[in-house]
């Protein structure tokens, strides 16, 4: 029986899940891959505090470098997270001729090019299915199933924390802070949720997916990012009146003026498949002229969903340990990222309830060639909310208009601007 020997760096949420999964599924894995997959060593800086690492069949250490360099290791699984020392250890593992499997989106979104260049040089594989959307096979689909595609657009719900908060706000008419508190109590949000709710986590994942979909190097910094912290229950109520729901979308579109890459909360039709993605679930909706619209949905995070994606990469290496490594980008696409785009916008202004307010806002919008489709004012004590939905307008023109409007004395809070998206409509 062939063996595939694993060194695990980082035995936290996902690493702990992986140890349990490999142990629980040892026989099935052996039968399905024709290989005995076993962990030979684990490196973790706080292994002494982790009861589940004691009395195991593998060696445990806090010295990652000597674990990587062991002769009885074929695959290094990096699950410590963050940029350094993860980058250094992954490069070191490749130089030592080990395959690498990682769930580290930050690492690939920022250093993917360097890491894949090293892997190509030594002829070793990098598995990273778990880096985007946990158990959902989005990386494998983009690399294998859609290898002949001409992907025009992708829409992802890639952050379970944000989707949980947004759908709780929508369904229970709840303030952002209350929905966040529930997410934290249920373990779907960190004590410091900034990385998730700012949209950055989704942006790192979108950078990876866009690189694969368009065969063009996309970095996190190429993506325009807006988070969910300014959403209010009124935004959800207004969306519902329009037959829409709000979701934090990771959007990648290929257009004649370049790639349009955005992470932002957006209004989509309540009838769209993506509107049915609720709670902590993730999804990827794609549209390609050959395969047509598709959607993959499920658990995007958590110990076992993520560990199962890590294990799928390990099993792929077990089946074909000397295979041709997959590439990151071929470099054949040279299109640039477009910085401006046209959208219909939902705008919520928080204003004083005075005569002339609507006229003042409308004038600035008109001066910037932004035409109003509908207008609504909430009754109540000052300040009041005024909601305007525009016809198609350039993002750059809207930004200039809002700079002027937000500086007006009548405006009492920064204006909320949400795009209307129509996934699958080109």
Ligand X SMILES: NC(=O)c1ccc[n+]([C@@H]2O[C@H](COP(=O)([O-])OP(=O)(O)OC[C@H]3O[C@@H](n4cnc5c(N)ncnc54)[C@H](OP(=O)(O)O)[C@@H]3O)[C@@H](O)[C@H]2O)c1
Q: Which of 85, 137, 298, 383 binds ligand X (CB under 6 A)?
A: 85
Distance of CA 262 to the CA centre of its chain: 11
Q: Which of 5, 6, 7, 15 binds ligand X (CB under 6 A)?
A: 15
Active site positions, annotated: 205
Q: Does 301 bind ligand X (CB under 6 A)?
A: yes
Q: Does 284 bind ligand X (CB under 6 A)?
A: no
Q: Does 269 bind ligand X (CB under 6 A)?
A: no
**Total residues in contact with ligand X, by rule CB under 6 A:** 23
Q: Does 134 bind ligand X (CB under 6 A)?
A: yes
DSSP 325: P
Q: In angstroms, what is the minimal distance from the CB of 326 to ligand X?
A: 19
User: 396: alpha, beta or left, given left = phi > 0 and alpha = psi -120 to 50?
Assistant: alpha
Q: Is 402 helix (H, G, I), strand (E, B) or coil?
A: helix
Q: Are 351 and 383 in contact (CB under 8 A)?
A: yes
In this complex, which beta carbon is closest to ligand X, that of residue 136 or of residue 318?
Answer: 136
CB within 8 Å of 293: residues ≥ 6 apart: 285, 286, 287, 424
Q: Does 11 bind ligand X (CB under 6 A)?
A: yes
- Distance between CA atoms of 134 and 304, rounded to whole angstroms? 9
Q: Which stretch binds ligand X (CB under 6 A): 31-39, 100-108, 144-152, 400-408?
A: 100-108
Q: Encoding tokens for residue 40?
A: 């030979």
Mask for 52-81, x = binds ligand X (CB under 6 A): ------------x--------------xxx
Helix axis angle, 13-24 to 26-33, nearest 10°: 70
Q: Which stretch binds ligand X (CB under 6 A): 44-52, 150-158, 272-280, 383-391?
A: 44-52
Q: Does 93 bind ligand X (CB under 6 A)?
A: no
CA-based nearest residue to 288, from 338, 257, 254:
254
Q: Are 363 and 396 in contact (CB under 8 A)?
A: no
Q: Which stretch binds ligand X (CB under 6 A): 12-20, 26-34, 143-151, 205-213?
A: 12-20
- Residues at the contact surface with ligand X, assessed by CB under 6 A: 10-15, 43-46, 64, 79-81, 85, 103-105, 130, 134, 301-302, 306
């Amino acid at each position: 029986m062939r063996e595939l020997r694993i060194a695990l760096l980082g035995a936290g949420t996902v690493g702990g899940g992986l140890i349990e999964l490999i142990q629980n599924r040892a026989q099935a894995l052996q039968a399905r891959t024709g290989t005995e997959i076993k962990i030979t060593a684990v490196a973790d800086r706080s292994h002494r505090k982790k009861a589940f690492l004691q009395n195991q069949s593998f060696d445990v250490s806090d010295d990652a470098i000597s674990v990587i360099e062991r002769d009885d290791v074929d695959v290094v699984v990096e699950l410590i997270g963050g940029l350094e020392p993860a980058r250094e250890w992954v490069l070191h593992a490749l130089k030592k001729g080990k395959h690498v499997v990682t769930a580290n989106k930050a690492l690939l979104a920022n250093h993917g090019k360097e890491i894949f260049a090293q892997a190509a040089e030594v002829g070793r594989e990098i598995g990273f299915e778990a880096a985007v959307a946990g158990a959902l096979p989005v990386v494998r689909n983009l690399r294998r199933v859609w290898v002949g595609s001409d992907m025009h657009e992708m829409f992802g719900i890639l952050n379970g924390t944000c989707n949980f908060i947004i759908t709780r706000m929508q369904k229970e008419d709840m303030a952002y802070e209350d929905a966040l508190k529930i997410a934290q109590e249920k373990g779907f949000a960190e004590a410091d949720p900034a990385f998730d709710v700012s949209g950055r986590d989704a942006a790192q994942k979108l950078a990876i997916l866009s690189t694969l979909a368009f065969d063009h190097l996309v970095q996190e910094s190429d993506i325009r990012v807006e988070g969910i912290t300014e959403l209010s229950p009124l935004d959800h109520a207004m969306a519902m009146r329009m037959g829409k729901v709000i979701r934090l979308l990771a959007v990648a579109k290929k257009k004649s003026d370049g790639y349009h890459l955005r992470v932002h909360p957006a209004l989509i039709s309540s009838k769209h498949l993506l509107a049915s993605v609720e709670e902590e679930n993730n999804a990827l909706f794609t549209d390609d002229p050959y395969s047509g619209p598709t959607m993959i949905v499920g658990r995007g995070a958590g110990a076992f969903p993520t560990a199962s994606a890590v294990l799928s990469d390990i099993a792929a290496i077990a089946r074909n340990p000397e295979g041709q490594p997959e590439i990151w980008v071929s470099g054949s696409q040279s299109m640039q990222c477009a910085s401006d785009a046209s959208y219909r916008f939902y705008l919520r202004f928080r204003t004083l309830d005075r005569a002339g307010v609507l006229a003042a806002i409308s004038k600035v919008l008109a001066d910037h060639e932004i035409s109003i489709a509908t207008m609504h004012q909430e009754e109540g004590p000052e300040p009041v909310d005024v909601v305007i939905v525009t016809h198609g307008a350039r993002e750059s023109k809207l930004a200039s208009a809002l700079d002027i409007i937000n500086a007006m004395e009548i405006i009492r809070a920064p204006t909320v601007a949400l795009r209307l998206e129509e996934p699958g409509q080109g």
